[in-house]
Amino acid sequence: MSVLAIVGGRVHSAGAERQATVLVNTETGLIDDVVDADSLPEVDRTLDASGCVVLPGFVDLHSHLRQPGNEAAETIETGSRAAALGGYTAVVAMPNTNPCMDSAAVISEVLAAGRTALCEIKPSAAITIGREGETLAPMAEMMDLGVRMFTDDGTGVQDDQLMRRALEYASSLEPGDGTQIVLSQHCEVDALSHPGVMHEGAWSAKLGLAGQPSEAEELMVMRDIALARLTKMNVHLQHLSTAGSVEMVRQAKAAGIPVTAEATPHHFCLTDAACASYDPVFKVHPPLRTESDVAAIRQGLADGTIDAVATDHAPHTPDSKERPFDEAPPGMLGLETAFALAATELGLPLERLVDLFSTTPARIAGLSDRHGGPVESGRAANFTVINLDQTWTVSGEDLASLAVNTPFEGRTVQGKVRHTVLNGEPVVVDSKAAR
């Protein structure tokens, strides 16, 4: 057996932390043992983790990897490299590709490209054909290929009856492997949000830009909570951005309705005031909101109302992002900065961050058998090694993503990924991608 040892770190596992060495069998890709720091057996390779914590690898429920169709902005390979550098060992790829991920053929293509990626690529699939909101996609055959999350992300399913039917149909699907199907919603009522390009409020009025009211999101959150109650089917609410949405999810959970929710770093770090620069790097859907919304998202992350931090990593080419604010596409990079922003900004205990970045998203994505579990003997060796004290400054040019559209350019954050191990292979070593 060939053994990789991660030495000198504090292994954070199931709420406890101890100074220990993680021994990985690189042939099976499993953790062989976690042993006391002073008892290092003979090994083939060591990685230094001194000053670092060893955490279960992160799982992103929401990444746009752009392949197939827009490989100038990102590819599965470059997106997965960005993910690994951000501490992720698995990423759920969103289906708004070209062609759309709405058929077994396109899902198979994404899975094939994902086989050589630097993290596990878990495709989601569209709820409706072409994400056009009219005809249900062939969910069963995509489930058979491993899809567990269905979403029309980029848009929400507008038609109430179709959404009800999608949930009813999905509730009849049984993966048979202990995981569950979830319908994931981009909550936005188009009739209210169009033609808005930022949050509707004092700043949009001042800047003369068309606004999207909070109610455009909240009405769909309200509807989908009602439909989850009606159909008893799991609904995951993507990128919550308003205080009203957080409160509705809080009440739905208290009532036992099967909803989960995610929030993005940009929605807990930035406000609509950033749009005053007219820089399209701050354009995103749903839009950046107000300070009280940011406070509510932070509270929701702290108290468990929001289950996961998701990146909504949305690379766009410089050409497209350099257009005027109202013409540029919405979206921001997220994978390489998400954990550091959360660690720097949220003031949450490490245990809660592990829940938000790893344990709970792994469960929602149906990946708990190999991601998000404790760093212990017998588990898949999917973990990340982070120096929580190291500060660094975000620079789009330095990111591994093909695109550079980070809204956090120049921001100093604390928490740097030193190594990431995927199925026993070190894919990030000393903060550099190994391939």
Q: Which is nearer to ligand DOR, 32 or 188 (CB)?
A: 188
Residue 64 contacts ligand DOR per CB under 6 A: yes
Q: Which is nearer to ligand DOR, 77 or 312 (CB)?
A: 312
| Type of residue at 264 | T
Bridge partners (DSSP) listed for residue 359: none
Please state the closest distance from residue 314 (CB atom) to ligand DOR, in A: 4
Q: Which helix (H) or strand (E) holds 206?
A: helix 202-207
Residue 250 contacts ligand DOR per CB under 6 A: no
Q: Which is nearer to ligand DOR, 231 or 405 (CB)?
A: 405
Please state the closest distance from residue 161 (CB atom) to ligand DOR, in A: 23
Is-contact 353 339, C-beta < 8 A? yes
* 235-237/182-185 β-pairing: parallel
C-alpha distance across the termini of the chain, in Å: 23
Helices (H), ranges, 322-382 = 338-345, 350-354, 360-365
Options 82, 90, 301, 314; binder of ligand DOR; rule CB under 6 A: 314
Q: Which two tokens stand for residue 295?
A: 């406070």
Is-contact 428 382, C-beta < 8 A? no
Options 8, 87, 123, 154; binder of ligand DOR; rule CB under 6 A: 154
Is-contact 370 322, C-beta < 8 A? no
Please state the closest distance from residue 429 (CB atom) to ligand DOR, in A: 31
Catalytic option among 102, 152, 293, 312: 312
Residue nearest to ligand DOR (CB): 331
Options 284, 342, 417, 427; binder of ligand DOR; rule CB under 6 A: 284
Phi, psi of 81 (to 5 degrees): -70, -45
Q: Which two tokens stand for residue 141?
A: 């055959």
Options 122, 186, 236, 416; binder of ligand DOR; rule CB under 6 A: 186
Per DSSP, the residues of 230-253 read HH---EEE-S--SHHHHHHHHHHH
Residue 96 contacts ligand DOR per CB under 6 A: yes
Which residues have C-beta within 8 Å of that of residue 49, sequence separation ≥ 6? Answer: 6, 7, 8, 9, 385, 418, 419
* Options 299-307, 327-335, 339-347, 358-366: segment touching ligand DOR (CB under 6 A): 327-335
Please state the closest distance from residue 110 (CB atom) to ligand DOR, in A: 15
The CA-atom distances, in angstroms, between 74 and each of 8, 14, 71, 258, 395 are 35, 35, 5, 34, 17
CA 432/CA 420 separation, integer angstroms: 10
Q: Which is nearer to ligand DOR, 96 or 337 (CB)?
A: 96
Residue 285 contacts ligand DOR per CB under 6 A: yes
* Options 142-150, 170-178, 323-331, 350-358: segment touching ligand DOR (CB under 6 A): 323-331
Is-contact 83 335, C-beta < 8 A? yes
CA 218/CA 224 separation, integer angstroms: 10
Please state the closest distance from residue 236 (CB atom) to ligand DOR, in A: 14
Q: Which is nearer to ligand DOR, 66 or 223 (CB)?
A: 66
- Residue 361: is the preceding peptide bond cis (ω within 30°)? no
Q: Residues binding ligand DOR: what is the number (CB under 6 A)?
A: 11
* Options 97-105, 257-265, 328-336, 397-405: segment touching ligand DOR (CB under 6 A): 328-336
Options 56, 280, 300, 330; binder of ligand DOR; rule CB under 6 A: 330
Active site residue 293: no
Residue 236 contacts ligand DOR per CB under 6 A: no
Residues with catalytic roles: 312
Provide the binding-site residues for ligand DOR, judged by CB under 6 A: 64, 96, 153-154, 186, 284-285, 314, 329-331
